[in-house]
Amino acid sequence: MSSPAFSTLSVHTSADGHIVEVDLNHGRANEMGRAQLAEWQALCALLEAGPARALITSSRRRSAKGTPIFISGADVTERRGWSDDAVRAHVRWQREVLGRLRRAPVLHVAVVHGVALGWGTEFLLTADYRITTPEAVYGLPETGIGILPGAGGTSELWSTIGVAQALRLGMTGERVDAAEALRIGLVQESVADVDAGLIRARALAAAVARRSPTAVAAFKAGVLASVGLPAEARAELEARAYEHCVESGDAALGRASFERITAGEEVAWSARRPFSP
């Protein structure tokens, strides 16, 4: 069903609320501006507090010339007349929103079909798994207009594709196709078209929805928080995350329901208990 809380993002949830899908179809070319940031922020709150266990982001949008579009970039035109202070505040806000979406306690799968430039490429850093179609195009054009990628492209992209590839994309503005994006690790899987991508994304989302929401969220938080920590600190973080699952009661429920779970039956897990690394 469609959520009435969103007007620029098309947000749909499954009947049980476990799977949320965002179909990008707004503005001139799915560009991201203040209105969209506010709705992504609201969606973060929904993902954090509600029953959602998976998020799928995709787009079937095409330009007037028929070019498929995922996210064409930030809405730079809305910034005309803004002061430097206003621009700085806005970019800090978008960085904050995307960082929050990255940490949302759900599996976020992005199905990229078409143009994903600038903010579109940076947005992929919020996804846990990225699926591409052959018509996708990626790139960071920002240095060509006197700025740099400010929503994770400078600080985080290197950790996904490596320093050399991040410097290549950010310093040259070179665009890469789906095959090259897969080769350098910007995306994890390639499919024939957007329909195939959505089938795959929904299968992943359904698999997550059958599992303990507390365990899934603790696992994601533990993995993300482990980055950059020394081995001893990583081990302690893992221990705390595991013990959180025990304390939630889901570990005992899993033991008691083991035969049913291995037989493919669904279990009524308890509501998600957030884990703080």
pLDDT tens, position by position, 46-94: 999 999 999 999 999 999 999 999 999 998 889 989 999 999 999 999 9
Residue matched to tokens 């009947």: 15
What's the whole-model pTM score? 0.95
The SS3 assignment for 103 reads coil
What stretches in the chain show pLDDT beneath 70?
Answer: 1-4
Tell me the CA end-to-end span of the chain in Å, nearest whole number.
34
Q: Which of 165, 44, 182 is nearest to 108 (CA)?
A: 44
Provide the 3-class DSSP secondary structure of residue 42: helix
pLDDT at res. 269: 95
Identify the bridge partners of residue 184 per DSSP, sorted by sequence position.
Answer: none
